[in-house]
Structure 1
C-alpha cells in the first residue's frame, strides 16, 4: 500500500528513538502500535528527500553531524537542498565576522516568506525582516534579520524542509517551511563538552585589484589589509533519563566573533556573540501519554561601527526567549497533539543620535582616509543613526487530531484536523528625533564671516591661526583676493573651513504598539484506493487587520505505478497565503522621515524650518486582499533495489494580489501624503529539479540539481522623492549606466528576477572505520545578474524650499547591476573519535570550506576588495555516554 510506504518514511523521521514499546501501552493502543510496527519497511534506504507525495526533505542527526559546517547554523545545511538558494553575502569577506544565520530563499520566495519553527515555536522576525541587509545604514530600522534567533545545528536532532505540496497544517508562509526538532530527553544518559575555533591566520584570501580582469591571477595590493579575526564556539550538552517516565536535557551553544576592519585608515575591532540555550523536560505514559516542556534562550549581540565614519560606534541586541509545552494523548478514536508556546524577541540599537555628511575640507578632512570610489563630491562622515527598540511578542496554541483510519466505500481514510490561534504584539520606540545632515555648504565670504548662532553640532565657524584682522594687518591693511600671495597666506592661516548644513532629514521620535490576532482551521483527508492515494486538504485563515477570509486548498495525489512502493507519480495543486501581516500593521503606524531646511541671512544662521518638501507619508492598507501563491507540482520518484532513490520534480508558482502602491498627489488636511496599497503586483517562479541519494555499505551519497526562473513585477508604481518616504529610496544603475530611483521593495524585486538559474549540490559521507569518518560536499551556482551595493551615495534633488536657499538635496545609497559569476565550492569535514574507556571518548573535528581555494566573486566587478579563500574550523569535544 502506498500509504504504508509513506508512513514508513514518516516512522524513520521520528525525532525520538522508540522508548515507548508497545507493551507499555493500553490494550487497544498496543494493538495499533504493533500493527504500525508491522508495516514498517525493513531495510529500505530513505535518503534526504523522502519518496512520497508531500514535498519535503529530511536531515537526520547523522547527516547534520557528517556535513561540513562553518558557524554551525542550520541554514548552512538547508542551503544544500534542491529549490533552496543561499544569499550571495554568505560568501563575502564580511561573512567571516558574521555569526547570524545566512539568508535562504525557498522556491523563489523572499527569505522572510519562509516559515521557521523549532519544536513548534515559530521564530520568524515579523517586525522588519527585509532590513537584514541594511545593518547600520538606516535610522528607521534595525537589522533583526529574517529570523528572531539563530539556531545552531548542535541543538537539533532533525530538520524537515517542505518546499511543495505542503500539508494544510502549515500556514503563514509563501516560500517554504523549515521545521526543526530538538534532541530527545529519552536517550542514554550522556554528557558532552566541545570547543571549535576559526582564526584569520588559518585561512587564505584573494586580493582583487580595481579594474583587473577577474580571470587573471590575484594581486597582493598593499592598500588591502587581511582581516584579523577569531571565532570560538563552545558547546555543552547533558542528558539524564531519570526513569522510564521522566527525562531532562540541557544544551548550550555559545559562539563569539572578533574581527578587525580598516576604518579611516585605522584598524578597529568589531565583536559579536550568540547563545543557543535549551532546557527540556520530558514525561511519558503517566497522566498523559507524552508531555515535553522546553525553555529556549537565544540572545545575539553586536558591537560594531559604520566603516569610514568618525564617532560611529553602535551596539545591537537581538534574539529571543521562548517556552513550549507539547502534549500528546492517545484516545480510542484519535491522537491529540497540542502545542502551546510563547516567545519574546527583540531587535534594538544604541548609538550616536545623529549622522553628519560634512564636506571634506580643512578641520573636517578625515574623509581623505575613506574609500569613496569615483565620487565627484567627497564627504567626511560622522555619527550614527540613534537608538531604536523593537520588541515582538508571540503566543501560539495549535491543536491537531489524527483520527484512526477507517474504510468507507472501498477506500481507506486518514483524517487530520486542527485549529491554530496566534496573537502577536509589536512594540517599537525611538525616544528622540534622529537627524541626518546631508546638505553641507562651504561658507566662503571673507567679508561676512559665518555666525553659527549657537548651533555647535551642525555648523562649523571659521577657525584660524591668527585673527583675520591680524592677518590683514600683516598683509598691508587688507586682504586682496586677487593677489595670489594673499590667497596663499589666507589659506595657510585657516585651520578649519567654515561650513554649515542647509538641510537635514528628520526621523521623528515615535512609539508604536500594535497587536494582531490570527485564527486558522485546517483539515486533510488522506484517501487510499488501491495504488492511488489522494490528499484532500483545506486551510482557512483570518486575521483582524486585513480582515480577509482566506481559504487555501491543498490537494495532492500519488500513484504507485507497480504497487510495490518503488515508483510513485505525484501531482499537486496548492495555495499559500502571505505571512508578514503584522509587519504591514506596523508600517501603517510608522512615522517616516521628513525634511527641514534653514536659511542664512547676512552670515547669521537661522533656525530650522519645515521644508516645502516635507516627505510626510503614511501607509494605508484599506480594503486590500491578502497576497497568495498558487502552486502546481508534478513529480516522479523511484526507489531502486540497490541504487538508492531518484526523483524528478517540476514546481510552478504563480503570485497573485501582490502589494503595489499608489500615492496621493496632494497632502491631506493633516499634512500627510497617503500611500494606498493595492493588489496590482504579480509574479511567478518555476523550478525543475532532480535528486538522488543512496547508501552503499559505509558510503552515503546524494546529489541534486535545479533550474529555476523567478519573476516579480509591479509596473503600476514609479518611485520618486515626491511619492515615497526617503527612508525607502535607493539609486539603481543598470548595465548601461542609466540611473533611476527605486524603492527598497523594487530593489528586492530586481534581485528576485535576477536569481540564480542553475544550482546543484553533491555529498559523499563515509564511515571509514569505527574511529574515522569524512564528509565532502560540492555546491555549484550558475552566473546571474543582481543588484549590489557600491558603498557610494547619490545626491537627489528636491524641490526648492525657499528663495534664499540653494536647491535642496538628499543622499541615498547606490546599487548597480552586476553579474555574479558562476562558482563551485567544496567543503570537507574530517572526524576522529578516540575511546578513553567504554563510556568516554574524545572527538576531534576539522571543517574546511572552499577546499580548492576558489574565488567567490563577491567583490564587485572592476572594484578592489578581498574575498575569502580556504577556511578552517578545528574542534575537540569530550563525550560521556
Structure 2
C-alpha cells in the first residue's frame, strides 16, 4: 500500500473515540531552569533536570521559531543561535543558493554525522551513508553518476520544516543517560499537537529568488558561474514554500490535526558542450534543463484525553524529498535522487498515584534513498546520422544512465521512560529516572535490474540489428560492454538500550549519577556509558553556581561498508557479428572497478567520546552569564584501511580515527525580557573559542601508510604529525554573535536581529604529496611527507533581520507578514579558499512570507 493511501486510511481511524494523544511538552525557555513544571493539561507534572544538565540544554520555543531570522527554515536553521554549534564552511555559499537541504552541523568538533536528530520520538538519522549527500549544498555532487554508488541523502532522513515544530531541545554537554547513540549533540524536535480546546488553522506562503539576492563570485569567474553548467553554479533559482495546517476538536477529549508543508526550488542547468549535431559550436540552442528540488511533509496527529487522566497521541507522517538533476553533456542523462519516507507512532503518558510517570512509545519508520536514471543503460555512441546531438568530441557522444538503485531502512521502535520516583535517604534527596528502548531495524541496498555501460561502439553500414540491444541498423553496434548485475545486500541493525539515572540533591549541592547500556546486533558490541554531572550553589540563592561533569557517549552504527560489499563488481562482455547480425553477449572477465575495489566491513568497536565539563554561572542584576569549558576526546572513530591497488584494492572499515577538541563558551542573556508599553526587548550574547584536532574527516578517509598517507606533514612551513593537522571544515577558531529581539505591541511588529562575527581563519590545501622531506624544517626526519599550504579567509561581520507583522482581521483571526533579510549589509565574506579558488557567502537576500491564522 502506498504511504499516501495508508495515511488516508489512518485518518479515518484517527476520527474514532480510540484515537490517541498526549499533553503539551516541555516548558518554554523561561521555565527551563525550574526544578518542576506543572502543565495545565490533565495536571501532569514534568520533573525538570538538575542544573548541571540544564547548562548543556537549549530549548527553542515555538515563539522563538517564528521570530528567528531564517533561510530555508529547516531544523539546523534553528541552531544558529547556539554557541556550542559550528556550521560547515560551505553553509550559505553563493555557489549553491538554490538548494533546500539542511546544512550540516558539528557539536564540539565531532563529526557532523555523529549527532542524533530525534523527530517525534524516533531517530531521524540516516546511518546508511551519511557522509555523502543527495544533491544538496553539502552533498558529494558525483552522486548518481556511477552505477556502483550507495545512494545517500545526507545525515537526516526527513527534511523537516521548522513550522511543524512545537519546541526544539538541543543537548550539547552533560547529556542525560536517557539519550544515546551520538558523540556530537542531540537535537529533539517535538511536533505540533492536535488541540482539544478550539478549532484553528493556518495557511502560509513564503518565497525568494535570484532577483532578490546578491551573488559574490570570485573575480574572473563570473562568466563561468553564469553559464550554470555545474552543480555548484546556480545563478538562477526560485524557491517557494507552502503550508496548510488544520486543527479540529471532535469533542472535549479528542482532536485531529492535519498539516501539509512543501518546499521547492527550480534551478536551470545548461550543458556546456551538448548541442544539436549540426551545430559546430556551443551557441544558441545549447541543451538545457530545469533541475528541481522538492521536499514535502504530510502530517496527521490525533490527541485523546480519557477520563482517567492519561494522555494518548497518534502520529502519521509522510516526508519525501526529491532532487531532479542532470549529468553534464550527456544526452538523456537526467536522473532523480529521492529520499525520506514515512513514520507512524503512538505515545501513551500515564501518571500513577505515587507520582511515578510512565511514557510508553511504539513507532514504525521506513526511509531510504533512491537514484533513478532516465536511461536504463549508458551508451558511448559514435556520431552517425541517427545521433541528433553532439558534445565536445567529434568522434563519440554519451547518452543514457544506469537504471534504478536504492537504499532502504526499516525500523520498529519500542521504548518506555519512567520519571518522578522520589525518595529521601536522610538529608539526601533522590529523583530516579530509568527506561529502556529496543530498535528492530534492517538496512538494504538493491539494484533493480542489470545495467550496462556500452563502452565500445563499432561503425558498420552493414549491421542488421534483428532485435539486438545497443545497435542501430546500418550504422553501429556495441561490441563491448561492462555489465553491472541486479543485486541485493542486507544488514540487520537491531539495538537494545537501557538506562538509569539518580538525580541527587543535598543542601546547595546537586548531582546526577547515571549509566547507559547499549547492545548492537550489527557490530555485536555491548557498551556501557557512565554519565556524571554536578553543580554547587555557592550562596544558596541561585546567583553563583559552579558545575562540572564527566561523561561518555557511544555513537550509532554505520551500514555503508556492509551494504557496499560487491556493488562495484562487474562483468565485461563482448560479442561478434555473424552474417552482419550481433550475436549473444559472452563473458570475458569479471572484476571490480579499478580505484574502487572491494568494500569490507571489518570487526569494529563502537566509536566513543569522553567528555569533561567545567564552568560557572553568575547572575548579576538579572543578567545571567554562563562560562563553560567542554573537552571531547573521541576514540575508535571509523576510518578506511586500504590495501592493494587497482582491481585488488580492498577498503575495510576500521577504528583508526580519533579527534580532540576543547571548546570555551560564554553565554550572556537577561533572566527575563525587559517590557514597557512601547517595546519588549530580549537579547543574548555568545562567544565560542575552540581548538580541534583530528586525523580524519569522514569514515571514508584512508589512514594507513599502505594507501596514500604519510606519518608526517609540512603545514604552513612547519613539520608536524599528520594527526596534528587542523580540520578541513568546521574549523573556525572562534566566533561571537548577539541577538536582539524587539516587539512593538502598539504596532504588532516584531523585529529580530542576529549579529555574528567570525575572524579570519586558514584553509589548508594539499600542494604536494609523498615527497622526500628535504626542507630545513625537516631536521633529522628524512621520510616522505605531504606538503600543505594555507590561504587565509578574511573576517566577516554579518547581520540578519526578520520582521513579523500581525494584522488582526475578524473573530480572533489574523494576517501575518514576514520579511527575512539575510546579510543585510551585503558583506563579501570568504567561506573557503584554495590555491586557485575562493568561495564566498551569499550576499544580501530577501525572503517574503504571508500567513493567515484562524
Q: Aligned equivalents of 1:341 and 1:82: distance in 2?
A: 33
Give the Cα separation in 1 of the matches to 2:604 and 2:251.
55
Matched, 1:206 2:206: no
| Distance in 1 separating the partners of 2:36 and 2:681 | 20
Q: Matches of 1:366 and 1:282 in 2, distance apart?
A: 60
Q: Which residue does 1:824 correspond to in 2?
A: 797
3-state SS, counterpart of residue 586 of structure 1? helix
Quote how far apart the aligned CAs of 1:317 are.
Answer: 1.8
Change (3 A) 1:304 1:403: same
The alignment status of 1:160 with 2:183, answered yes or no, reads no
Task: Please list, as runs of the form range in 1=range in 2, the aligned pairs for 1:567-716 lying within 5 A after superposition.
Answer: 567-587=544-564, 589-593=565-569, 596=572, 609-610=588-589, 615=594, 617-621=597-601, 623-643=603-623, 645-662=624-641, 675-694=651-670, 695-697=673-675, 698-713=680-695
Mark the structure with the bigger radius of gyration. Answer: 1
Residue in structure 1 matching 2:446, options 429, 436, 448 = 429
Alignment match, 1:291: 312
CA distance in 1, matches of 2:496, 2:651: 28
> Shift of residue 696 of structure 1?
2.4
Compared CA separation, residues 672 and 70, structure 1 to 2 (3 A):
same
Give yes or no for contact 1:197–1:873 (8 Å, CA) kept in 2: yes
Q: Does 2:849 correspond to 1:875?
A: yes
Report if aligned partners of 2:202, 2:246 keep a CA contact under 8 Å in 1.
Answer: yes
1:330, distance to aligned residue in structure 2 (A): 1.0
Q: Does 1:126 align with 2:127?
A: yes
Counterpart mapping for 1:207-226 below 5 A: 207-210=217-220
Match of 1:509 in 2: 486
2:296 pairs with one of 275, 292, 311? 275
* Aligned-partner Cα distance in 2 for 1:451–1:870: 62
Alignment of 1:201-600 (within 5 A): 201-210=211-220, 227-264=235-272, 265-287=286-308, 289-333=310-354, 334-351=356-373, 352-355=375-378, 366-368=390-392, 382-434=399-451, 507-587=484-564, 589-593=565-569, 596=572
| Secondary structure in structure 1 of the residue aligned to 2:216 | strand
Alpha-carbon deviation of 1:663? Answer: 5.2
**Structure 1 pair 719–836 and aligned structure 2 pair: CA distance change class (3 A):** closer
Residues 157-192 of structure 1: CA deviation (Å, up to 9, x unaligned): 111111111110111111110001112333543221
In structure 1, what is the equivalent of residue 199 of structure 2?
189
Q: Give the Cα separation in 1 of the matches to 2:378 and 2:460.
A: 25
User: After the TM superposition, which of the residue ranges 605-614 and 695-704 deviates more from structure 2?
Assistant: 605-614
CA drift of 1:67 comes to 0.6
Displacement, 1:65?
Answer: 0.8
Whether 1:842 and 2:815 are equivalent positions in the alignment is yes
TM-score, normalised to structure 2, is 0.77
* Offset of residue 710 of structure 1: 2.5
**Quick one: distance in 2 between partners of 1:254 and 1:418?**
36
Given that 1:354 and 1:434 are in contact with CA atoms closer than 8 Å, whether structure 2 keeps it comes out as yes
- Return the offset for 1:574: 0.7
SS of the counterpart of 1:164?
coil
Is the partner of 1:208 in helix, strand or coil? coil
The residue aligned with 1:374 is none
Cα distance in 2 for partners of 1:451, 1:702 equals: 79
The corresponding residue for 2:11 is none
161-170 or 330-339, which deviates more: 330-339
Deviates more, 1:505-514 or 1:516-525: 505-514
Counterpart in the other structure of 1:803: none
What is the TM-score with the length of structure 1 in the denominator?
Answer: 0.75
Distance, in Å, in 2 between the alignment partners of 1:241 and 1:641 is 45
Cα deviations by residue, 1:628-665 (Å, 9 ceiling, x for unpaired)? 1111111212233332x211111111111223454565
Task: Give the deviation of 1:238 after TM superposition.
Answer: 2.1
**1:292·1:325 contact (CA, 8 Å) conserved in 2?**
yes
Secondary structure in structure 2 of the residue aligned to 1:404: strand
The whole-number CA distance in structure 1 between the counterparts of 2:507 and 2:755 is: 41
**In the superposition, relative to structure 1, how do residues 378 and 127 fare at CA in structure 2: closer, same or farther (>3 Å)?**
farther
Instruction: Give the aligned partner of residue 23 of structure 2.
Output: none
In structure 2, the CA distance between the partners of 1:542 and 1:864, relative to structure 1 (3 Å rule), is: closer
CA contact (8 A) 1:116 1:124 kept: yes
Residues 782 and 341 of structure 1: is their aligned pair in 2 closer, same or farther, counting only changes over 3 Å? Answer: farther
Query: Given that residues 300 and 318 in structure 1 are in contact (C-alpha distance below 8 angstroms), is that contact kept between their aligned partners in structure 2?
Result: yes
Say yes or no: does 1:769 pair with 2:749.
no
**Could you tell me which residue of structure 1 aligns to residue 734 of structure 2?**
758
Pick closer, same or farther for the CA change 1:220–1:590 going to 2, 3 Å: closer
Give the SS at the match of 1:150. Answer: coil
The 1-side partners of 2:183 and 2:260 are apart by 32
Going from structure 1 to structure 2, the CA distance change for 1:305 and 1:51 (only over 3 Å counts) comes to same
Distance 1:59 1:331, change over 3 A: same
Q: Give the drift of 1:545.
A: 2.1
C-alpha displacement at 1:68, in angstroms? Answer: 1.2
Rate the CA distance shift 1:152–1:329 in 2: closer, same or farther, 3 A.
same
- Shift of the 521–672 alpha-carbon distance from structure 1 to 2, 3 Å rule, reads farther
Q: Which residue is 2:777 aligned to?
A: none
Shift of the alpha carbon at 1:818? 6.3
DSSP-derived class of the 1:64 partner: helix
Matches of 2:185 and 2:376, distance apart in 1: 39
C-alpha spacing 1:188/1:271, structure 2 compared with 1 (3 Å): same
CA-CA distance at 1:845 after TM superposition = 1.0
* CA gap 1:582/1:379 in 2 versus in 1, 3 angstroms: same
Cα shift at 1:598: 7.8
Change (3 A) 1:255 1:367: same
Q: 2:128 touches 2:560 (CA, 8 Å); kept in 1?
A: yes
Q: What's the CA shift for 1:383?
A: 3.9
- TM superposition shift of 1:353: 4.0
Deviation at 1:758, TM superposition (A): 1.9
Q: State the match for 1:494 in structure 2.
A: none
Distance 1:505 1:630, change over 3 A: farther
Following the alignment from structure 2 to structure 1, what is the Cα–Cα distance between the partners of residues 335 and 359? Answer: 45
Q: CA deviation at 1:149?
A: 0.5
1:794 equivalent in structure 2? none
SS of alignment partner, residue 493 of structure 2 = strand
The whole-number CA distance in structure 1 between the counterparts of 2:714 and 2:217 is 25
Query: Is contact 1:401–1:418 with CA below 8 Å preserved after alignment?
Result: yes
User: Equivalents in 2 of 1:450, 1:102: separation in Å?
Assistant: 54
Offset of 1:844 from its aligned partner? 1.0
SS in 1 for 2:132: helix
What RMSD over aligned residues (CA atoms) do the two structures have, in Å? 4.7
Q: Distance in 2 between matches of 1:751 and 1:364?
A: 48
5+ residue gaps, structure 2: 1-26, 134-138, 273-285, 768-787
What's the CA shift for 1:303? 1.8
Q: 8 Å contact 1:545–1:585 — kept in the other structure?
A: no
Q: Distance in 1 between matches of 2:380 and 2:538?
A: 69
**Alignment length (residue pairs):** 756
Q: CA deviation at 1:462?
A: 13
**Partner Cα separation in structure 2 for residue 138 and residue 657 of structure 1:** 31
Q: How many Å apart are 1:450 and its aligned residue?
A: 12
Q: Which consecutive residues of structure 1, in runs of 5 or more, have no partner in the other structure?
A: 23-32, 41-45, 212-217, 370-376, 464-497, 739-745, 791-814
2-structure distance, mates of 1:312, 1:422: 39
Matching of residue 151 in structure 1 with residue 130 in structure 2: no
Q: Is the 8 A contact 2:53 2:173 kept in 1?
A: no
Shift of 1:778: 2.2
